[in-house]
Amino acid sequence: MADITDIKAILYTEKSLGLQEDGVVVIQTSPKMTKNGLKEVLREYFGFIPLKVNSLRQEGKAKRFKGIAGRRDNYKKFYVTLPEGAKIESLEV
């Protein structure tokens, strides 16, 4: 079962801020989150069911930390189309 703790962040990039004007929010989650799980979390915690949810799986980048090879975490990114009048409280930009 999905939980609100699986949501890592709401992304604020140039592209995502442009999408927010059209009612689309970009949410970064843990790799185990599913579309139905995200819909359930949004319904339970924010009180709405999204109109549409698109997802993509992002592989972690290989990086070097002080000469030691490492890897960033994998994550999922969801593009969530909000219904008319719905908003997420943390999105006050």
Annotated domain spans of the chain? 4-83
Tens-digit pLDDT profile for residues 32-73: 999 999 999 999 988 889 999 999 999 999 999 999 999 999
- Full-model pTM: 0.84
Range scoring the smallest mean pLDDT among 39-43, 74-78, 81-85, 87-91: 87-91
Q: Which class is domain 4-83? A: alpha beta
User: Six-digit token pair at 84?
Assistant: 């008319």
